[in-house]
Amino acid sequence: MLDLRVPSGWFFTVLGLILLGMGIFAPDTRAALSDANVNLYSGLPMLLFGLFMLLMAWRASRRAS
């Protein structure tokens, strides 16, 4: 059976990279009511979460084989 941690891990890795990219290369993209670099701060945890899911899936598949 498909290990759901793989697609969801990749999904959040991609999402995190897009937001992180925006946060780093277009830091002036700000919303009307917030001075924070929202893309940077929300992209980072998404990327970490995605990588964590991939790591867990990789460990599980290594144990299975």
Partner 1 sequence: MKLAPVDYTILAVYFAFVLGIGWMLRKKMSTSGDFLLSGRSVPVWITSLAFIAANLGAQELVGMSASGAKYGIMTAHFYWIGAIPAILFVGIFMMPFYYGSKARSVPEYLKMRYDEKTRTYNAFSFAVMTIFSSGISMYALGKLLQLVLGWDFNMSILVSAAIVLVYTFLGGLTSAIYNEVLQFLLIVAGFSPLAILAVAKAGGWHGIQTRLGAMTLAGGMSGKVMTHAWTYMGSPQSNPMGVELFGMVAGLGFVLSFGYWCTNFLVIQRAMAADSMNSARRTPLIGAFPKMFLPFIVIVPGIAAVALANMHVGYSIPLDNGAPNYNLVITTLMAKFYPAGMLGVGLTGLVASFMSGMAGNVTAFNTVWTYDIYQTYIRKTAPDRHYLNVGRATTVVGVVLSIGAAYVATRYDNIMDLLQLVFGFVNAPLFATFLLGMFWKRGTGHAAFSGLVTGTVAASLTWCLTVAEGKGGILGTVHTFPSAMAQSFWIALVAFTSCFLVTLVVSLATKPRPEKDLEGLVYGLTKIPEDRGSWYQRPAPLAVTVIAILLVLNFWFA
Least distance to partner 1 from the beta carbon of 52, Å? 12
SS3 for 41-54, per residue? HHHHHHHHHHHHHH
Handedness of CA 38, 39, 41, 46 (dihedral sign): positive
Least distance to partner 1 from the beta carbon of 59, Å? 15
Contact 9, 57 (CB under 8 A): yes
Task: Name which of 34 and 65 has its Cβ closer to partner 1.
Answer: 34
Least distance to partner 1 from the beta carbon of 3, Å? 9
Catalog residues that contact partner 1 under the rule CB under 8 A. 1-2, 4, 7-8, 10-12, 14-15, 18-19, 22-23, 29-34, 36, 38-39, 41-43, 46, 49
